[in-house]
A and B are shown apart, each in its own frame.
Chain A
Amino acid sequence: EAGVAQSPRYKIIEKRQSVAFWCNPISGHATLYWYQQILGQGPKLLIQFQNNGVVDDSQLPKDRFSAERLKGVDSTLKIQPAKLEDSAVYLCASSLGTWNTDTQYFGPGTRLTVL
């Protein structure tokens, strides 16, 4: 079974530039998550999708971050404009559903450096 795919793996940009990350979840997984992991910290949930609807985006900085999940499969996370403090690893995860026993499967992440 293929895992969660993310691209690019690494990205370096200047502050105030825009950047987009892509995630392809495990086939058949209805729920998709984007996490931000700053160096030395645990992942923090940015947004959770159930199919193509948003379930939780309470910790997403909506003035600069946006995400979409068209057709309930792939997802894109965008930052516009980027700030220095956005330097982090952005992790995508997926699970079968929203049941509390669901296991989340994580992709390898995209490491973003903002200069």
Chain B
Amino acid sequence: KQEVTQIPAALSVPEGENLVLNCSFTDSAIYNLQWFRQDPGKGLTSLLLIQSSQREQTSGRLNASLDKSSGRSTLYIAASQPGDSATYLCAVKETSGSRLTFGEGTQLTVNP
């Protein structure tokens, strides 16, 4: 059974800092990995999707990497802003089907 873990559970940083969020998964037989953002009272928004054959994806100040063999992914946020404050979730899609298995999320607070 696939298990996804995210560390840290919560993170508070001053504005402008670069930061890294971590995600690990137990079964390396994944098809892709996705990072989502969740704002309070709102649904999830997809940020980046990395196929299992890819090493990284970039969008603006966000960069996600994937090391499938070690079961790890990182989300790098450059020059953090207060508007980045949200919960960040990673999810893996398994090869055998289209179910997403989510981690518990990292709650990020960026202080002005």
Contact = CB atoms under 8 A, between A and B. Distances in A.
A111 B87 CA distance: 17
10 contacts: A42-B89, A43-B102, A91-B43, A101-B32, A101-B49, A102-B98, A104-B100, A106-B43, A106-B44, A108-B41
Contacts of B43: 4, 91, 93, 106-109
Interface residues of A, number: 25
Q: Is the interface of A mostly helix, strand, loop or mixed?
A: loop
Contacts of A111: 41
Contacts of B91: 42
Interface centre among A42, A93, A105, A107, by most B CB within 10 Å?
A: A42
Contacts of B93: 100
Interface in A89-115: 91, 93, 98, 100-109, 111
Interface in B74-112: 89, 91, 93, 97-100, 102-105
Nearest to B91: A42
Contact of A43 (B41, B44, B45, B51): B44
B70 interface: no
Given A42-B91, A44-B102, A48-B98, A100 B44 contact: no
